[in-house]
Chain A
Protein backbone atom coordinates (compact mmCIF):
# COMPACT_ATOMS: atom_id res chain seq x y z
CA UNK A 1 0.00 0.00 0.00
CA UNK A 2 1.58 3.23 -1.15
CA UNK A 3 0.64 6.82 -1.76
CA UNK A 4 2.19 9.26 -4.22
CA UNK A 5 1.77 12.88 -5.21
CA UNK A 6 2.27 14.18 -8.76
CA UNK A 7 4.56 14.07 -10.68
CA UNK A 8 5.41 10.66 -9.27
CA UNK A 9 4.29 7.33 -10.64
CA UNK A 10 3.14 4.34 -8.69
CA UNK A 11 3.26 0.81 -9.99
CA UNK A 12 2.85 -2.83 -9.14
CA UNK A 13 4.19 -5.71 -11.20
CA UNK A 14 3.01 -9.17 -12.09
CA UNK A 15 -0.63 -9.00 -11.05
CA UNK A 16 -2.31 -12.33 -11.61
CA UNK A 17 -5.42 -13.09 -9.66
CA UNK A 18 -4.56 -10.18 -7.39
CA UNK A 19 -6.26 -6.86 -7.95
CA UNK A 20 -4.41 -3.57 -8.24
CA UNK A 21 -6.63 -0.74 -7.06
CA UNK A 22 -5.86 2.94 -7.46
CA UNK A 23 -7.76 5.62 -5.57
CA UNK A 24 -7.06 9.23 -6.48
CA UNK A 25 -8.06 12.83 -6.03
CA UNK A 26 -7.48 14.41 -9.42
CA UNK A 27 -7.50 18.01 -8.24
CA UNK A 28 -5.18 17.51 -5.28
CA UNK A 29 -3.09 15.23 -7.50
CA UNK A 30 -2.62 12.52 -4.95
CA UNK A 31 -3.05 8.81 -5.55
CA UNK A 32 -2.71 5.57 -3.64
CA UNK A 33 -2.37 2.02 -4.83
CA UNK A 34 -2.98 -1.26 -3.11
CA UNK A 35 -2.28 -4.82 -4.21
CA UNK A 36 -5.17 -7.00 -3.00
CA UNK A 37 -4.47 -10.73 -2.79
CA UNK A 38 -7.56 -12.14 -1.12
CA UNK A 39 -11.19 -11.05 -0.90
CA UNK A 40 -11.80 -11.16 2.81
CA UNK A 41 -9.79 -10.91 6.01
CA UNK A 42 -12.06 -13.63 7.43
CA UNK A 43 -9.92 -16.03 5.35
CA UNK A 44 -6.94 -15.19 7.48
CA UNK A 45 -5.76 -18.01 9.68
CA UNK A 46 -3.28 -16.05 11.73
CA UNK A 47 -3.70 -13.40 14.38
CA UNK A 48 -2.46 -10.00 13.23
CA UNK A 49 -3.73 -9.32 9.76
CA UNK A 50 -1.76 -7.59 7.05
CA UNK A 51 -4.49 -5.12 6.10
CA UNK A 52 -3.09 -4.42 2.64
CA UNK A 53 -3.68 -8.00 1.55
CA UNK A 54 -7.44 -8.31 1.94
CA UNK A 55 -10.06 -6.39 -0.02
CA UNK A 56 -12.32 -5.71 2.95
CA UNK A 57 -9.52 -4.16 5.01
CA UNK A 58 -7.29 -2.69 2.28
CA UNK A 59 -9.85 -0.50 0.53
CA UNK A 60 -11.06 1.45 3.59
CA UNK A 61 -7.49 1.71 4.86
CA UNK A 62 -6.25 3.14 1.57
CA UNK A 63 -9.07 5.67 1.49
CA UNK A 64 -8.34 6.71 5.08
CA UNK A 65 -4.63 7.08 4.36
CA UNK A 66 -5.31 9.25 1.33
CA UNK A 67 -7.58 11.51 3.34
CA UNK A 68 -4.86 11.79 5.97
CA UNK A 69 -2.47 12.97 3.25
CA UNK A 70 -4.84 15.64 2.01
CA UNK A 71 -7.24 13.96 -0.39
CA UNK A 72 -10.96 14.77 -0.10
CA UNK A 73 -13.42 11.91 0.30
CA UNK A 74 -16.04 13.13 -2.21
CA UNK A 75 -13.33 13.66 -4.82
CA UNK A 76 -11.95 10.13 -4.61
CA UNK A 77 -12.22 8.04 -7.73
CA UNK A 78 -11.12 4.50 -8.45
CA UNK A 79 -9.45 2.61 -11.24
CA UNK A 80 -8.65 -1.06 -10.99
CA UNK A 81 -7.02 -3.88 -12.89
CA UNK A 82 -6.21 -7.52 -12.34
CA UNK A 83 -8.30 -10.40 -11.09
CA UNK A 84 -7.29 -12.75 -13.86
CA UNK A 85 -7.80 -16.48 -13.92
CA UNK A 86 -4.28 -17.75 -14.46
CA UNK A 87 -4.96 -21.47 -14.49
CA UNK A 88 -7.95 -23.44 -15.62
CA UNK A 89 -8.88 -26.41 -13.51
CA UNK A 90 -11.65 -28.81 -14.26
CA UNK A 91 -12.80 -29.31 -10.68
CA UNK A 92 -11.97 -25.96 -9.21
CA UNK A 93 -12.50 -25.22 -5.55
CA UNK A 94 -13.65 -21.77 -4.54
CA UNK A 95 -10.07 -20.71 -4.05
CA UNK A 96 -9.44 -21.43 -7.69
CA UNK A 97 -11.67 -18.63 -8.88
CA UNK A 98 -9.98 -16.20 -6.58
CA UNK A 99 -9.49 -13.56 -9.30
CA UNK A 100 -13.17 -12.82 -9.91
CA UNK A 101 -13.83 -13.00 -6.18
CA UNK A 102 -11.15 -10.41 -5.51
CA UNK A 103 -12.71 -8.09 -8.07
CA UNK A 104 -16.19 -8.55 -6.61
CA UNK A 105 -14.91 -7.86 -3.10
CA UNK A 106 -13.07 -4.70 -4.13
CA UNK A 107 -16.09 -3.37 -6.03
CA UNK A 108 -18.30 -4.06 -3.05
CA UNK A 109 -16.01 -2.09 -0.74
CA UNK A 110 -15.94 0.80 -3.19
CA UNK A 111 -19.73 0.76 -3.26
CA UNK A 112 -19.90 0.93 0.53
CA UNK A 113 -17.49 3.87 0.54
CA UNK A 114 -19.36 5.46 -2.39
CA UNK A 115 -16.25 5.81 -4.49
CA UNK A 116 -17.07 5.77 -8.20
CA UNK A 117 -15.16 3.40 -10.47
CA UNK A 118 -13.95 5.38 -13.46
CA UNK A 119 -12.34 2.54 -15.36
CA UNK A 120 -11.42 -1.09 -14.92
CA UNK A 121 -9.56 -3.80 -16.76
CA UNK A 122 -10.30 -7.01 -14.93
CA UNK A 123 -10.66 -10.71 -15.55
CA UNK A 124 -9.26 -12.54 -18.53
CA UNK A 125 -6.32 -14.84 -18.12
CA UNK A 126 -3.19 -12.79 -18.47
CA UNK A 127 -0.93 -11.19 -15.93
CA UNK A 128 -0.68 -7.42 -15.76
CA UNK A 129 1.81 -4.81 -14.69
CA UNK A 130 0.15 -1.52 -13.89
CA UNK A 131 1.46 1.99 -13.46
CA UNK A 132 -0.51 5.03 -12.40
CA UNK A 133 0.47 8.58 -13.16
CA UNK A 134 -0.76 10.89 -10.40
CA UNK A 135 -0.36 13.84 -12.76
CA UNK A 136 -2.50 12.67 -15.67
CA UNK A 137 -4.53 10.10 -13.69
CA UNK A 138 -3.97 7.54 -16.42
CA UNK A 139 -3.52 3.93 -15.49
CA UNK A 140 -1.21 2.14 -17.84
CA UNK A 141 -1.62 -1.62 -18.09
CA UNK A 142 1.00 -3.82 -19.64
CA UNK A 143 0.40 -7.45 -20.50
CA UNK A 144 2.75 -9.94 -22.05
CA UNK A 145 0.72 -10.65 -25.16
CA UNK A 146 -1.72 -7.83 -25.57
CA UNK A 147 0.73 -4.98 -25.30
CA UNK A 148 0.06 -1.79 -23.40
CA UNK A 149 -3.32 -0.34 -22.68
CA UNK A 150 -4.33 2.89 -20.98
CA UNK A 151 -7.45 3.53 -18.99
Chain B
Protein backbone atom coordinates (compact mmCIF):
# COMPACT_ATOMS: atom_id res chain seq x y z
CA UNK B 1 0.00 0.00 0.00
CA UNK B 2 2.89 2.30 0.83
CA UNK B 3 3.77 2.32 -2.82
CA UNK B 4 0.59 4.10 -3.82
CA UNK B 5 1.44 7.02 -1.59
CA UNK B 6 4.80 7.41 -3.29
CA UNK B 7 3.52 7.33 -6.84
CA UNK B 8 3.95 10.60 -8.70
CA UNK B 9 2.68 12.13 -11.91
CA UNK B 10 5.80 10.99 -13.70
CA UNK B 11 5.08 7.43 -12.75
CA UNK B 12 1.51 7.72 -13.95
CA UNK B 13 2.73 9.19 -17.23
CA UNK B 14 5.08 6.28 -17.73
CA UNK B 15 2.28 3.83 -17.13
CA UNK B 16 0.16 5.75 -19.59
CA UNK B 17 2.87 5.43 -22.19
CA UNK B 18 3.03 1.71 -21.52
CA UNK B 19 -0.69 1.49 -22.20
CA UNK B 20 -0.21 3.58 -25.30
CA UNK B 21 2.50 1.41 -26.80
CA UNK B 22 0.89 -1.89 -25.86
CA UNK B 23 -2.60 -1.06 -26.98
CA UNK B 24 -1.30 0.63 -30.10
CA UNK B 25 0.17 -2.63 -31.28
CA UNK B 26 -2.95 -4.50 -30.27
CA UNK B 27 -5.11 -2.05 -32.19
CA UNK B 28 -2.99 -2.62 -35.28
CA UNK B 29 -3.45 -6.38 -34.94
CA UNK B 30 -7.18 -5.98 -34.51
CA UNK B 31 -7.41 -3.68 -37.47
CA UNK B 32 -5.54 -6.21 -39.62
CA UNK B 33 -7.82 -9.01 -38.55
CA UNK B 34 -11.07 -7.16 -39.06
CA UNK B 35 -9.85 -5.21 -42.08
CA UNK B 36 -11.25 -2.08 -40.49
CA UNK B 37 -9.90 1.11 -39.15
CA UNK B 38 -9.53 0.88 -35.41
CA UNK B 39 -9.26 3.95 -33.31
CA UNK B 40 -7.58 4.09 -29.97
CA UNK B 41 -8.20 6.52 -27.17
CA UNK B 42 -5.45 8.00 -25.06
CA UNK B 43 -5.01 5.52 -22.24
CA UNK B 44 -6.04 6.45 -18.77
CA UNK B 45 -4.19 5.38 -15.70
CA UNK B 46 -6.12 5.46 -12.52
CA UNK B 47 -5.76 4.34 -8.98
CA UNK B 48 -9.17 2.96 -8.20
CA UNK B 49 -11.00 1.01 -5.56
CA UNK B 50 -12.37 -2.34 -6.66
CA UNK B 51 -15.88 -0.91 -6.84
CA UNK B 52 -14.74 1.91 -9.08
CA UNK B 53 -13.07 -0.59 -11.33
CA UNK B 54 -16.38 -2.39 -11.83
CA UNK B 55 -17.94 0.96 -12.71
CA UNK B 56 -15.27 1.51 -15.37
CA UNK B 57 -16.40 -1.72 -16.99
CA UNK B 58 -20.02 -0.56 -17.04
CA UNK B 59 -21.18 -1.74 -13.62
CA UNK B 60 -20.57 -5.01 -11.86
CA UNK B 61 -23.74 -6.59 -13.27
CA UNK B 62 -23.24 -5.64 -16.89
CA UNK B 63 -22.73 -8.56 -19.20
CA UNK B 64 -19.26 -8.83 -20.68
CA UNK B 65 -17.02 -11.23 -22.51
CA UNK B 66 -13.62 -11.14 -20.89
CA UNK B 67 -10.39 -12.76 -21.87
CA UNK B 68 -8.16 -13.02 -18.87
CA UNK B 69 -4.54 -13.94 -18.68
CA UNK B 70 -1.88 -13.95 -16.05
CA UNK B 71 1.42 -12.40 -16.91
CA UNK B 72 4.37 -14.28 -15.57
CA UNK B 73 8.06 -13.50 -15.74
CA UNK B 74 9.89 -10.43 -14.46
CA UNK B 75 6.85 -8.30 -13.74
CA UNK B 76 3.84 -10.47 -12.94
CA UNK B 77 0.37 -9.09 -13.30
CA UNK B 78 -3.06 -9.69 -14.73
CA UNK B 79 -4.52 -8.60 -17.98
CA UNK B 80 -8.04 -8.37 -19.30
CA UNK B 81 -9.45 -7.75 -22.71
CA UNK B 82 -13.04 -6.87 -22.01
CA UNK B 83 -15.87 -6.46 -24.47
CA UNK B 84 -19.53 -5.80 -23.89
CA UNK B 85 -21.36 -8.93 -24.98
CA UNK B 86 -23.02 -7.38 -28.05
CA UNK B 87 -19.68 -6.18 -29.26
CA UNK B 88 -18.01 -9.53 -28.76
CA UNK B 89 -20.76 -11.01 -30.90
CA UNK B 90 -20.18 -8.43 -33.58
CA UNK B 91 -16.46 -9.10 -33.73
CA UNK B 92 -16.91 -12.82 -33.99
CA UNK B 93 -19.70 -12.61 -36.53
CA UNK B 94 -17.46 -10.42 -38.61
CA UNK B 95 -14.42 -12.65 -38.27
CA UNK B 96 -16.27 -15.85 -39.07
CA UNK B 97 -18.68 -14.37 -41.58
CA UNK B 98 -21.53 -16.01 -39.72
CA UNK B 99 -24.22 -13.70 -38.43
CA UNK B 100 -26.03 -16.38 -36.42
CA UNK B 101 -23.41 -16.64 -33.73
CA UNK B 102 -24.73 -15.51 -30.39
CA UNK B 103 -23.39 -15.40 -26.86
CA UNK B 104 -26.75 -14.74 -25.23
CA UNK B 105 -27.80 -18.24 -24.31
CA UNK B 106 -25.64 -21.22 -23.55
CA UNK B 107 -24.49 -23.54 -24.89
CA UNK B 108 -22.52 -21.01 -26.86
CA UNK B 109 -21.22 -21.75 -30.29
CA UNK B 110 -17.96 -23.58 -29.71
CA UNK B 111 -16.20 -22.19 -32.73
CA UNK B 112 -17.28 -18.71 -31.72
CA UNK B 113 -15.90 -19.17 -28.22
CA UNK B 114 -12.66 -20.48 -29.54
CA UNK B 115 -12.27 -17.58 -31.94
CA UNK B 116 -13.08 -15.09 -29.20
CA UNK B 117 -10.47 -16.62 -26.96
CA UNK B 118 -7.95 -16.56 -29.76
CA UNK B 119 -8.80 -12.96 -30.51
CA UNK B 120 -8.08 -12.06 -26.91
CA UNK B 121 -4.92 -14.10 -27.07
CA UNK B 122 -3.59 -12.36 -30.17
CA UNK B 123 -4.41 -8.88 -28.93
CA UNK B 124 -2.98 -9.41 -25.47
CA UNK B 125 0.00 -11.08 -27.04
CA UNK B 126 0.80 -8.07 -29.20
CA UNK B 127 0.25 -5.77 -26.22
CA UNK B 128 2.69 -7.74 -24.11
CA UNK B 129 5.27 -8.25 -26.83
CA UNK B 130 5.55 -4.54 -27.43
CA UNK B 131 5.67 -3.89 -23.71
CA UNK B 132 8.37 -6.48 -23.32
CA UNK B 133 10.42 -4.95 -26.15
CA UNK B 134 10.05 -1.53 -24.63
CA UNK B 135 11.08 -2.50 -21.12
CA UNK B 136 13.43 -5.41 -21.91
CA UNK B 137 11.55 -7.42 -19.33
CA UNK B 138 10.51 -10.97 -19.88
CA UNK B 139 6.71 -11.06 -19.79
CA UNK B 140 5.11 -14.41 -20.43
CA UNK B 141 1.36 -14.67 -20.90
CA UNK B 142 -0.48 -17.67 -19.52
CA UNK B 143 -3.01 -19.57 -21.62
CA UNK B 144 -5.97 -17.21 -21.78
CA UNK B 145 -9.22 -17.95 -20.01
CA UNK B 146 -12.52 -16.80 -21.38
CA UNK B 147 -15.45 -15.77 -19.24
CA UNK B 148 -18.85 -14.54 -20.38
CA UNK B 149 -20.65 -13.25 -17.34
CA UNK B 150 -21.24 -10.27 -15.08
CA UNK B 151 -18.35 -7.82 -15.16
CA UNK B 152 -17.94 -8.00 -11.41
CA UNK B 153 -17.60 -11.75 -11.44
CA UNK B 154 -15.13 -11.74 -14.30
CA UNK B 155 -12.98 -8.87 -13.08
CA UNK B 156 -12.75 -9.88 -9.45
CA UNK B 157 -10.76 -12.87 -10.59
CA UNK B 158 -7.95 -10.69 -11.81
CA UNK B 159 -8.03 -8.71 -8.60
CA UNK B 160 -7.18 -11.67 -6.39
CA UNK B 161 -3.47 -11.08 -6.46
CA UNK B 162 -3.84 -7.35 -5.88
CA UNK B 163 -6.42 -7.73 -3.16
CA UNK B 164 -3.84 -9.52 -1.06
CA UNK B 165 -1.89 -6.30 -0.86
CA UNK B 166 -4.57 -3.67 -0.52
CA UNK B 167 -7.95 -2.40 -1.57
CA UNK B 168 -6.85 -0.37 -4.56
CA UNK B 169 -5.60 -1.26 -8.01
CA UNK B 170 -3.62 0.73 -10.55
CA UNK B 171 -5.46 0.21 -13.80
CA UNK B 172 -4.05 1.03 -17.18
CA UNK B 173 -7.17 1.26 -19.29
CA UNK B 174 -7.16 1.66 -23.05
CA UNK B 175 -10.28 1.88 -25.14
CA UNK B 176 -10.40 0.64 -28.71
CA UNK B 177 -13.03 2.02 -31.03
CA UNK B 178 -14.07 1.22 -34.50
CA UNK B 179 -13.86 4.24 -36.71
CA UNK B 180 -16.35 5.11 -39.43
CA UNK B 181 -19.18 3.52 -37.57
CA UNK B 182 -22.19 5.23 -36.12
CA UNK B 183 -22.07 5.58 -32.37
CA UNK B 184 -24.59 2.81 -31.75
CA UNK B 185 -22.75 0.16 -33.72
CA UNK B 186 -19.30 1.04 -32.54
CA UNK B 187 -17.16 -1.80 -31.41
CA UNK B 188 -15.53 -0.87 -28.18
CA UNK B 189 -13.08 -2.87 -26.18
CA UNK B 190 -11.21 -2.29 -22.99
CA UNK B 191 -7.71 -3.39 -22.16
CA UNK B 192 -6.97 -3.54 -18.49
CA UNK B 193 -3.43 -4.06 -17.38
CA UNK B 194 -3.14 -4.76 -13.68
CA UNK B 195 0.45 -5.19 -12.60
CA UNK B 196 0.91 -6.94 -9.29
CA UNK B 197 1.93 -4.54 -6.51
CA UNK B 198 5.53 -5.71 -6.52
CA UNK B 199 5.84 -5.33 -10.27
CA UNK B 200 5.67 -1.55 -10.39
CA UNK B 201 9.15 -1.12 -8.98
CA UNK B 202 10.46 -3.59 -11.57
CA UNK B 203 8.75 -1.80 -14.45
CA UNK B 204 9.95 1.63 -13.38
CA UNK B 205 13.47 0.38 -12.80
CA UNK B 206 13.61 -1.16 -16.26
CA UNK B 207 12.87 2.29 -17.64
CA UNK B 208 15.41 4.00 -15.46
CA UNK B 209 13.03 5.67 -13.04
CA UNK B 210 13.39 5.14 -9.34
CA UNK B 211 10.32 4.61 -7.21
CA UNK B 212 11.70 5.91 -3.97
CA UNK B 213 12.81 9.40 -4.73
Contacts and interface: CB of A to CB of B under 8 A. Distances in A.
Q: Is the interface of A mostly helix, strand, loop or mixed?
A: loop
B50 to A, nearest CB: 8
Contacts of B147: 86-87
B1 A46 contact: yes
B149 A46 contact: no
A126 B149 contact: yes
Interface string A120-151: 00000011110000000000000011000000
Contacts of A14: 54, 60-61, 150-153, 155-156
Nearest to A47: B1
Contacts of B161: 95
Contacts of A68: none
Interface stretch (A2-10, A26-34, A36-44, A69-77): A36-44
B106 A38 contact: no
B114 interface: no
B149 A13 contact: no
A86 B59 CA distance: 18
A43 B164 contact: yes
A6 to B, nearest CB: 25
Interface residues on A, range: 20 to 34
A18 B105 CA distance: 24
A100 interface: no
B165 A46 contact: yes
B198 to A, nearest CB: 8
Given A43-B164, A127-B153, A145-B105, A90 B61 contact: no
Contacts of B155: 14, 16
A16 B165 contact: no
B163 interface: yes
Contacts of B152: 13-16, 127
Contacts of A45: 164-165, 197
Given A13-B61, A14-B61, A126 B153 contact: yes
A50 B150 contact: no
B154 interface: yes
Interface of A: 13-18, 37-38, 43-47, 50, 53, 84, 86-91, 95, 98, 126-129, 144-145
Interface of B: 1, 54, 59-61, 63, 68, 105-106, 142-143, 145-157, 159-161, 163-167, 197
- Please list the 6 inter-chain residue pairs (A to B) with the smallest Cβ-Cβ separation, ordered nearest first: A14-B152, A127-B153, A87-B145, A16-B153, A14-B60, A127-B150
15 contacts: A14-B60, A16-B149, A16-B153, A16-B156, A37-B163, A44-B165, A53-B167, A84-B153, A86-B154, A87-B146, A89-B143, A126-B149, A127-B152, A127-B153, A144-B149
